[in-house]
Structure formats: C-alpha cells, structure tokens
Structure 1
Amino acid sequence: MESKDWANYIESTDGLSKPWLLIQWRLQLLQDQRPHLEPETYATELADLHSALMNLGEWWHGQEQTVFSAEESPLGEP
C-alpha cells in the first residue's frame, strides 16, 4: 500500500483514533522517503517509529474483536 492509500484508509475508517494505523502510515511515509534520506537519518526515524509502536503496549487486551475486526482490515483479511 502506498502512503496515500494508507491515508485514505485511515480517514475512511475513522482511524485517527487508532494509533497503530498512524504508525503504519508513518512507516510507509518513511519508506517512500528512504531513497532521499541519509542512512543515519533513516535509521533514527525507523528507531523512533519502533519506539512509538512499543509504547502502545498491550492496551488492546480484552478488546481484540473491536480493535482488530475483519471489516476494518485494509486488505479485507480476518
């Protein structure tokens, strides 16, 4: 998926309140910019995204069906 596809998906599914989707979008944006970035800059940005993902923790426990339901999958998979 391209970054614009992620942005459209996030907007159409009210994904601004879903931080894991925003991280995926940021990762795609970083991948799009990679050819124009210094390796050190890319590594730093990637580490920042990893840290943001890890900071989400396990907030989703007990709400797996709501959070990860199949109808919201960008690929249409369960």
Structure 2
Amino acid sequence: MTRVRTWWTIAETAAAALSTPRVDVGHADADVELLVRRSWLWRAGTRLAAKISAAWIDSRCRRIAGAAARNRR
C-alpha cells in the first residue's frame, strides 16, 4: 500500500506542476499597484491627504505645537 500511495503522490505532484502556471510575483504586484493607483478610491484618498496636509501647514495647532517643541529644547 505504501508503494501505491507514493506513486499516487508523485503523479499528483507532477500533474500539479504541469498544470499550474508560473507566476511572476513582481509583475503581478506591479499590475495590482497600477490598478489601485488608477482607481477612484486612490484619487479620493490622495485629494484628502493633500487637503489635510494643506490644512495642517496653515493650522494654529501646528504653530503652537512647534513653539512648544522649540521651548522644550
């Protein structure tokens, strides 16, 4: 029974290796990244991040925090 099971495992492994396509992981990752970066959700997130960054630069809280950090030194 052990010999039959061994040959069956070899046959399964060979069939899986022959029928499974080779995947270039780096290329697949690049494709997914391109899809995400072209999505409306990515663009909306980028716009939101830009608005938050601009608001932070002009914020009173940033100036107070910066002054407090300079006074701690």
TM-score, length of structure 1 as denominator length: 0.30
Q: Of Structure 1 and Structure 2, which has the larger fraction of its residues in helix? A: 2
Structure 2 length as normaliser, TM-score? 0.31
**Which protein has the larger Cα radius of gyration, Structure 1 or Structure 2?**
2
